[in-house]
Amino acid sequence: MMAAVRNPFASATFARSAPRLPDLPPDEGRELAFAGRSNAGKSSAINALTGVAGLARTSRTPGRTQQLVVFDLDARHRLIDLPGYGYAKVPVAMRAQWGQELGRYFRERQSLVGLVLVMDCRHPLKDSDWLLLEACADRGLPAMALLTKADKLGRNQQQTLLREVRARLAEGGALVAARLFSATRPVALEAIRNELGAWLFKDVAPAP
Ligand SMILES: Nc1nc2c(ncn2[C@@H]2O[C@H](COP(=O)(O)OP(=O)(O)O)[C@@H](O)[C@H]2O)c(=O)[nH]1
Ligand SMILES: [Mg+2]
């Protein structure tokens, strides 16, 4: 009999909201960051991956709360929900400040082991997404592009999109795995969990 497959993220609990970088937990242990444009489906992806309904707050209207949200898996492993970017209604000064904070987070955070870049599959790889991928590449950190809301596309469209995104990533020289994802109709959820779990709990390079 096959052993039941354990979800490496099932133990996630809300730990804290951090308005600024100094409010994060001490830079020890290992953490995986989730980033993406506002409304891309970041919170929904965290809920689907952890299997903890309502863990990360989802919303129909892009929020203005620009905070880092920390979810603990155990004393040494965390998920970080980074503030969404690209939301026009956030005041320009605030956006600029957050851009700098995010940049600093990616440059300096030692416990960061990888990025999950959540993108609405209908609007992939915008400029701000590339900035984050470049920040990861600069440090040799692995990233996974989650092309979410895949349920909005037909099967053929999904495969075409995946091929296009992979080609663009390869062209950009990025060390990035691209996966289709849907929070409402989970596809390959277990494989994605295991892949990300390996980054967080082991020290392995991502598959292309
Ligand atoms: N159809 C569909 N809707 C989704 C999916 N993921 C998120 N959404 C919806 O997209 C909106 C924004 O999602 P949310 O997770 O709050 O995005 P965030 O701002 O990136 O955290 C919400 O109305 C979600 O219900 C998905 O995979 N499929
Ligand atoms: Mg969110």
Whether ligand 1 lies within 6 angstroms of the CB of 42 is answered as: yes
Choose which residue among 17, 58, 121, 129 to substitute to test ligand 1 binding: the one with the highest number of ligand atoms within 8 A of its C-beta: 58
Cα 142 to averaged position of ligand 1 atoms, centre (Å):
24
Whether ligand 1 lies within 6 angstroms of the CB of 147 is answered as: no
Cα–Cα distances (Å) from 6 to 9, 10, 48, 59, 159, in that order, read: 9, 8, 14, 29, 28
* Size of the chain, expressed as the number of residues it contains: 208
Percentage above 90 pLDDT, the chain: 68
Whether ligand 1 lies within 6 angstroms of the CB of 54 is answered as: no
61 pLDDT band, cuts 50/70/90, is low
> Does residue 39 register a pLDDT over 60?
yes
> Does residue 18 register a pLDDT over 80?
yes
Which of the listed ranges 92-96, 141-145, 199-203 does the model predict with the highest average pLDDT? Answer: 141-145
Fold adopted by 13-201: Rossmann fold (3.40.50)
Mean pLDDT of 40-45: 94
Whether ligand 1 lies within 6 angstroms of the CB of 120 is answered as: no
Domain spans of the chain, in order of start: 13-201
